[in-house]
Amino acid sequence: MSLQVTTSSKNRDGDITGVCGSGWNHDKATAIANVRRSASAYYVSVNGRTVHVRIGSRNGRDYLTTAPDNYGANNLDNLPDC
């Protein structure tokens, strides 16, 4: 079952530190583990534009992001804070 992400936690640098939805809140480590188990663990849907949350890697460190679709409103960075 996929969970809809409606808000995200960010640190001072703007890095995603967690994802949240109706009645749940997962930190980054939990979310990454869930995405590794199932590529469809989380999704973001804004104005009918839906993308799945995925794992990216930069400088050997994993981070949470959404699949690219050229629609900024459904990016984790642009969601309201948890």
pLDDT at residue 61, rounded to an integer: 95
What is the rounded average pLDDT of the residues 66-73?
94
pLDDT band of 1, cuts 50, 70, 90? confident
Strands (DSSP E) contained in 1-82 are: 3-4, 7-10, 16-21, 24-27, 42-46, 49-58, 61-66
Q: How confident is the model at residue 8 (pLDDT cuts 50, 70, 90)?
A: very high
Q: Mean pLDDT throughout 7-19? A: 96
Question: And the tokens for 66?
Answer: 């959404």
For the segment 24-59, what is each residue's pLDDT rounded down to a tens digit? 999 999 999 999 999 999 999 999 999 999 999 999
Domain span at residue 46? 3-78
Structurally, how many domains does the chain consist of?
1
